[in-house]
Homo-oligomer: A and B are copies of this chain.
Amino acid sequence: MTMVRESGPGTPDEGLLGEAPVAQAISPDEASAIAAEVRELISEGREQLALERLRALHPADIGLILAGLPGASREAILRVMSPETVAWVLRQLNPLDAGRVGARLGVNALSFALNQVHPQQALALLLRLPRRSARVLAGRLDAPLPEAEILEHPPDTAGALMVADYPTVASDDTAAAARASIAELWEDRRKYTHVFVLGAQGRPVGQIAMVDLALAEDETPVAGISEPIVAAVTVETEAQECARLRRHYNLTQLPVVDDRGHLIGVILAEALLSALVEQDTRQMLRVATVAGETADGPLALSVRTRLPWLTVNLATTFLAAATIGLFESTLAQAVVLAAFLPVVAGQGGIGGTQTLTLIVRAIALGELVGITARRLLVREAILGVLHGVWLGLLVAAVAILWKQNLGLGLVLGLAMLGNMIIAGSIGAAVPLFLRRIGVDPAVASAVVVTTFTDVFGFLLFLGIARAAISLIV
Contact = CB atoms under 8 A, between A and B. Distances in A.
A135 interface: no
A227 B22 contact: yes
Contacts of A32: 369-370
B296 A376 contact: yes
A127 to B, nearest CB: 15
Contact of A386 (B295, B303, B322): B303
B370 A64 contact: yes
Interface in A7-25: 21-25
A206 B280 CA distance: 33
Contact of A314 (B230, B318, B347): B347
Contact of A25 (B21, B92, B249, B351): B249
Contacts of A116: none
A183 B299 CA distance: 56
Q: How many copies of the shown chain assemble into the complex?
A: 2
Given A335-B335, A343-B317, A1 B247 contact: no
A430 interface: no
Nearest to A209: B190
Given A2-B197, A226-B4, A359-B295, A331 B335 contact: yes
Interface in A383-429: 383, 386-387, 390-391, 394-395, 398
B307 A387 contact: yes
A467 interface: no
A310 interface: yes
Contacts of A120: none
Given A285-B357, A285-B361, A361-B285, A366 B64 contact: yes
Given A212-B190, A359-B295, A382-B299, A92 B230 contact: no
Contact of A273 (B36, B222, B247, B285): B247
A189 B320 CA distance: 60
Contacts of A383: 299, 302-303, 306
B230 A25 contact: yes
Contacts of A284: 280-281, 283-284, 287, 357, 361
Nearest to A342: B320
A93 interface: yes
A84 interface: no
Contacts of A387: 303, 306-307, 310
Interface string A181-224: 01100000110110001000000011001111111000000111
Contacts of A335: 328, 331-332, 335, 338
A49 B151 CA distance: 48
5 contacts: A1-B205, A1-B228, A2-B226, A23-B230, A94-B248
**10 A-B pairs closest in CB distance:** A68-B370, A35-B370, A288-B357, A25-B231, A284-B284, A295-B362, A210-B210, A280-B280, A2-B206, A213-B214
Given A31-B370, A342-B454, 8 more contacts: A2-B228, A247-B277, A250-B270, A273-B276, A284-B284, A294-B358, A314-B391, A331-B335
